[in-house]
Amino acid sequence: MSATHDDGGCRQAAAPSAPRLSASEPNTLPEVFDRAVRRFADRPALDFFGRKWTYRDVGELTDRVAEGLIRLGVGHGVKVGLCLPNSPYSVVFYFAILKSGGTVVNYNPLYTPRECLAQILDSDTTIMVLPDIERVYGPVAAVADEAGLRHLVVCPFADALPFGRGVLYRLFKRTEKARVHDDARHVSFSKLLSGRSATQRRPAPRPDDVALLQYTGGTTGVPKGAMLTHANLAGNVRQLSPLMQGGGLRDGQERALAVIPLFHVFAMTVAMNLALDMGAQIVLVPQFKIEELLATIARTKPTFFPAVPTIFAAINKAAETADVDLRSIRLCISGGAPLPAEVGARFEALTGCRLSEGYGLTESSPVVSVNPFDARRRAGSVGLPLVDTTIEIRDPNCPDRLMPAGAKGEVYIRGPQIMAGYWRRPADSSEVLVDGALRTGDVGYRDPEGFLFLVDRIKDLIICGGYNVYPRQIEDALYEHEAVEEVVAIGIPDAYRGESPKAFVKLRAGFPTTPDELRAFLSERISKIEMPREIEIRTSLPKTAVGKLSKKELIAEERERAGLAAMNRRASA
Ligand code: AMP
């Protein structure tokens, strides 16, 4: 790291150098995928409740789906939404869209109709791929007209399962199977595959083409699509591979457990793209239910397990009472939220694995740094930057100035994984892309050996069980209620999820309402994960000197209350 520090005022930050990646490696996602299909053709690629597909099977099916998508009009720059729980369809459609030249737009299958509509309109999604499960299909179908969706490609979920409806019933109640409309807009999976071969093949995507629009609140909370190119996403795979090999993972030998949702960038890169590049068998789990997960671990004996701290903590807790053998697991990456030291240590003791914490953002495809899997690792650190990545710590009050080792500042990142910008938001893009570096909104420091430690966030964000919840979304939804005059949403400490949202509300005079009524109002507008754990009605809310609503007093109050509660628990134990 060649950071310079200038005590005498602001000086242009020097760009530190880093090792270069080999230029001969795949630089688009179809190249990564096709190489894996060639290298590992006969090896199992996917496991879904015991039903398996080899790399050759997945390669052939993906090519047929790509042809079907081309017949539907997918080509360069056409946005195709993926709104799927983890399943073979997630993997096949992801690569088929990319092979047909299109751009993937990831949707959270638990979105409300409103959230779906906003993202479809913002991204220009014209085709949506979704399962025949009412909870996912319903909200999209409800807005399909208004959103101007040209096609809904509906995947029969039970058909991907080994014993059809039996497992489906266990997973999603039978009543949840969607009644799919029968009209020209709807295309069934079998119909998609049934047409004649496309006569014209589309040109292969180029490294600088946008492969994915991944929605995030970024530093402001307003949802926007991070444009991740093929070079960004393929680059992050190439940056991670040497690290995984160093950690003892072997090509064509591993089983990767994919329970974190593939519509989130961490799972997409680590549990799917990287796992395929290594020729691993990906064990797809559509929903996080602890008993189901433990049964899957017992059945499939995974070796590689990327997940978020809440999932590691849940397994630790379940292992206190259940008799589970977790010793197949050898290597884990925890990401998305801070990993409490005791959770990591307990999970390592239970499994005998190496669990390292990583750090990243949607805007960086996502991985930036990972704690090494060997004796060099540092407790509490999110590790060393990946190859070809530089981390700069800049003075928040004078961003041109780099801070010396040990001093805190805002974290900036440079590397091949940094996004091209936000879709149609040049002003937001230039806020966070500064001289080619990504401004993260995270606060941290580096020790003399270059290990990164995160200490705080400048951006207004709650990380709840590994999911990002933006207070702004909750506040905007509450302001739509006629009784709400002022509202502040913050994250409060939560022993299980790390943080949970809480809303403080001041009511308009003459409009009485209750927290339960506000909660019912919110359930139509925000997703379950965003729903405040508590809504507190107050007669006034704290303000800054200029009269703006202020969060810091409420955050301090809640931290103090959580600290006292923990002290009382310890005293009575
Ligand atoms: P996302 O864009 O959803 O991937 O969220 C990115 C944000 O998650 C980062 O800017 C951090 O604030 C937070 N984050 C990711 N990994 C970690 C980690 N290991 N420890 C603490 N915060 C993290």
pLDDT tens digits along 311-330: 999 999 999 998 889 999 99
Q: Is pLDDT above 50 for 3?
A: no
pLDDT tens digits along 518-557: 999 999 999 899 999 999 999 999 987 666 788 888 998 9
Q: Which residue has the tokens 């433990």?
A: 294
Among residues 530, 235, 499, 178, the alpha carbon closest in space to that of 366 is found at 235
- Could you give the count of Cα atoms lying within 13 Å of 416 in the half-sphere of its Cβ? 24
Pocket test for ligand 1, best of 361, 367, 378, 459 (most atoms within 8 A of CB): 361
More confident residue, 340 or 248: 248
Distance between Cα 336 and ligand 1 center (Å): 4
pLDDT at site 171: 65
Distance between Cα 514 and ligand 1 center (Å): 34
pTM of the model: 0.88
pLDDT interval class at 1 (50, 70, 90): very low
What is the C-alpha to C-alpha distance for residues 162 and 193, in angstroms, rounded to an integer?
20
What is the C-alpha to C-alpha distance for residues 550 and 488, in angstroms, rounded to an integer?
8
Q: Which residue has the tokens 């960004």?
A: 232
Ligand 1 in contact with 237 (CB < 6 A)? no
pLDDT interval class at 175 (50, 70, 90): low
Give residue 224's identity as a one-letter amino acid code.
Answer: K
Distance between Cα 463 and ligand 1 center (Å): 8
Please state the rounded mean pLDDT for residues 411-421. Answer: 98
CB atoms near residue 250 (< 10 Å): 12
CB atoms near residue 208 (< 10 Å): 12
Ligand 1 in contact with 261 (CB < 6 A)? no
pLDDT tens digits along 316-365: 999 999 888 999 999 999 999 889 898 999 999 999 999 999 999 999 99
pLDDT at site 14: 47
Among residues 301, 264, 263, 307, the alpha carbon closest in space to that of 281 is found at 301
Q: Is pLDDT above 50 for 12?
A: no
Please state the rounded mean pLDDT for residues 92-110. Answer: 97
Phi, psi of 56, rounded to the nearest 5 degrees: -65, -45
Please state the rounded mean pLDDT for residues 484-502. Answer: 92
Q: Which residue has the tokens 């906003």?
A: 118
pLDDT interval class at 473 (50, 70, 90): confident
The H or E element spanning position 473 is helix 471-479
Per the CB < 8 A criterion, the answer to whether 114 and 218 are in contact is no
Q: Classify 238 as helix, strand or coil.
A: helix
pLDDT at site 23: 64
pLDDT at site 21: 59
Collect all residues with Cβ–Cβ distance below 8 Å to 37 and sequence separation of at least 6: 55, 56, 58, 59
Distance between Cα 90 and ligand 1 center (Å): 24
Q: Is pLDDT above 80 for 198?
A: no
- What DSSP string describes 209-223? SEEEEEEE-TTT-S-
Phi, psi of 87, rounded to the nearest 5 degrees: -170, 170
pLDDT at site 5: 41
pLDDT at site 4: 40
Ligand 1 in contact with 218 (CB < 6 A)? no
Q: Is pLDDT above 50 for 90?
A: yes
What is the C-alpha to C-alpha distance for residues 274 and 365, in angstroms, rounded to an integer?
12
Distance between Cα 52 and ligand 1 center (Å): 33
Please state the atom number of ligand 1 nearest to the C-alpha of residue 382. 19
More confident residue, 263 or 560: 263
Per the CB < 8 A criterion, the answer to whether 368 and 417 are in contact is yes
pLDDT, the chain, mean? 91
Beta strand 255-258 with 125-131 is: unpaired
